[in-house]
Amino acid sequence: MLLVQKYGGTSVANVDRIKAVAERVDKTIKEGHKVVVVVSAMAGETDKLINLAHQISSNPSEREMDLLLSSGERITSSLTAMAIKELGHKAIALTGRQTGIVTDAVHTKAKIERITADRVKRALEENYVVVIAGFQGITETDDVTTLGRGGSDLSAVAIAHALNADLCEIYTDVDGVYTADPRIVQDARKLDRISYEEMLELASLGSKVLQTRSVEFAMKYNVPVVVRSSFNYNPGTLVTKEDKEMEKVVVSGIAHDVNQAKITVMGVPDKPGIAARLFKKIADANIVVDMIVQNISIDGKATDISFTVPKTDSKKTLKITEEIAKELGARAVDLREDIAKVSIVGVGMRTHSGVAAQMFDALARHGINIMAISTSEIKVSCLIDAKFTELAVRVLHETFGLAAI
């Protein structure tokens, strides 16, 4: 089999961990497989680099930011290749560019357009273990790009697809995908399997065990993905196509996200075209808006619009919103960062009613106020005060009976 193995930050956090990765690769080869390794930067390295940049500029150029951040993964790819060589295998480290990962030019959150991987294929034919620096690509005009936080997951899935690999293994610091973040809910249960759709919802609603775009990619191209731990040999969680069995479970998991900010525009005239103008400007700045709530206006009077954006984009969004608010004659704009979104996810919700009501009731019983709600066929999300995040996750986990039996 051809396996793509991705090792996250904690799995390559220091020299000993990198040696442990090499040993696992060695074991995999001895089992008769070919291996392509994709690595993240050492744990904390990307944050450290971002911090350095912000000590120099409050608004560093995104092009230079990408070049800077891509260095973290270059370090681990070179070191990992060296460690694999030490165990007697042929190994070669490649950057995103050398792998032929071509992206668009949206710096810091570039999208992959194509992967040539010629050099990877050649190296594999010559029995090399190929170690690829994750998280990065190159534009048509030769600028380095990065794929958004957690983007090495996407590198791995996309490379697995480009190479037609048999499996993409995502090695991390937990045994697999759990019914809730195991760091918050102690009796969270590991799932043996989860559908692409549920995983996509969980990821986009804040479960960072897999990057959202990597799941989107895996689902689109049907790439089989397994999430497992690099610290033990326990079986992980298979992310795969939905089947009938999965529908029996109403709620599969709870997600939470504390990385959102809420912006409220107060006193907006209630007439057609206002929302279109505001949200077009925000979209043009490549900012993704999540929840939107507009209060009902009485007799065409002014109304309020609230929406959420990633915290990392909150200042930029605030500026844009304030400009438009002025043009529109709105009364005021308010930014709140102490909010959280808690969500329940499950394909079984399609065929069960009353699930949302059960969620609202559970939160209400614990005195947790809901600021906004959004739903889809397979999820319900509530915006709450950030100080209640952990309580809300635990309460919902219990309400829907997700604990380990």
Region for 135 from its dihedrals, namely left if φ exceeds 0, alpha if ψ lies in -120 to 50, beta otherwise? left
Which range in 145-153, 225-233, 282-290, 300-308 contacts ligand ASP by CB under 6 A?
145-153
d(CA 401, CA 393): 12
For residue 106, give every residue at least 6 positions away whose Cβ sits within 8 Å of its Cβ, in sequence order, or none. 145, 286
Pick one of 41, 215, 291, 344: the residue that binds ligand ASP (CB under 6 A).
Answer: 41
**183 is an interface residue for ligand ADP by CB under 6 A:** yes
The closest alpha carbon to 66, from 133, 123, 165, 136, belongs to 136
- Taking the least distance from each CB to Mg ion, the nearer of 210 and 378 is 210
CB of 390 to Mg ion, least distance (A): 21
Residue 265 binds which entry of ligand ASP, Mg ion, ligand ADP, none, CB below 5-8 Å type-dependent = none
Pick one of 10, 40, 207, 308: the residue that binds ligand ASP (CB under 6 A).
Answer: 40
Shortest Cβ contact with ligand ADP: which residue? 8
Listing DSSP states for 200-244 in one string gives: HHHHHTT-TTS-HHHHHHHHHHT--EEEEESSS----EEEE---H
Rounded-to-10 torsion of CA 116, 114, 172, 233? -50
Burial class (CB in 10 A: 0-12, 13-18, 19+), 87: middle
Residue 100 binds which entry of ligand ADP, Mg ion, ligand ASP, none, CB below 5-8 Å type-dependent = none
Residue 137 binds which entry of Mg ion, ligand ASP, ligand ADP, none, CB below 5-8 Å type-dependent = none
**148 is an interface residue for Mg ion by CB under 5 A:** no
Which range in 144-152, 220-228, 309-317, 329-337 contacts Mg ion by CB under 5 A?
144-152
- Taking the least distance from each CB to ligand ASP, the nearer of 34 and 149 is 149
**172 is an interface residue for ligand ADP by CB under 6 A:** yes
Pick one of 128, 135, 178, 307: the residue that binds ligand ADP (CB under 6 A).
Answer: 178
The closest alpha carbon to 270, from 307, 298, 289, belongs to 298
Q: Name which of residues 196 to 215 contact Mg ion (CB under 5 A).
A: none
Tell me which DSSP letter residue 190 carries: B
Interstrand relation of 136-138 and 167-172 (parallel, antiparallel or unpaired) = unpaired
Placement of tokens 């790009």 in the chain: 145
- Kindly write out the interface string for residues 135-164 of this chain, putting x where it contacts ligand ADP by CB under 6 A and - elsewhere: ---------------x--------------
Question: How many chain residues touch ligand ADP (CB under 6 A)?
Answer: 19
Residue 72 binds which entry of ligand ADP, ligand ASP, Mg ion, none, CB below 5-8 Å type-dependent = ligand ASP
Q: Name which of residues 6 to 35 contact ligand ADP (CB under 6 A).
A: 8-11
What kind and span of H or E run contains 194? strand 193-195
CA 392 to chain centre: 21
Helix (H, G, I), strand (E, B) or coil at 349: helix
d(CA 223, CA 16): 31
Residue 22: what residue type? A
* Beta strands in 246-365, from DSSP E residues, in sequence order: 253-257, 260-268, 292-294, 303-310, 332-336, 339-345
CB of 63 to ligand ASP, least distance (A): 17
**151 is an interface residue for Mg ion by CB under 5 A:** no
Residue 17: what residue type? R
**46 is an interface residue for ligand ASP by CB under 6 A:** yes
In the complex, which residues of this chain contact ligand ASP (CB under 6 A)?
8-9, 40-41, 46, 72, 134-135, 149-153
In the complex, which residues of this chain contact Mg ion (CB under 5 A)?
8, 150
In the complex, which residues of this chain contact ligand ADP (CB under 6 A)?
8-11, 40, 150, 172-174, 177-178, 180-183, 207-209, 253
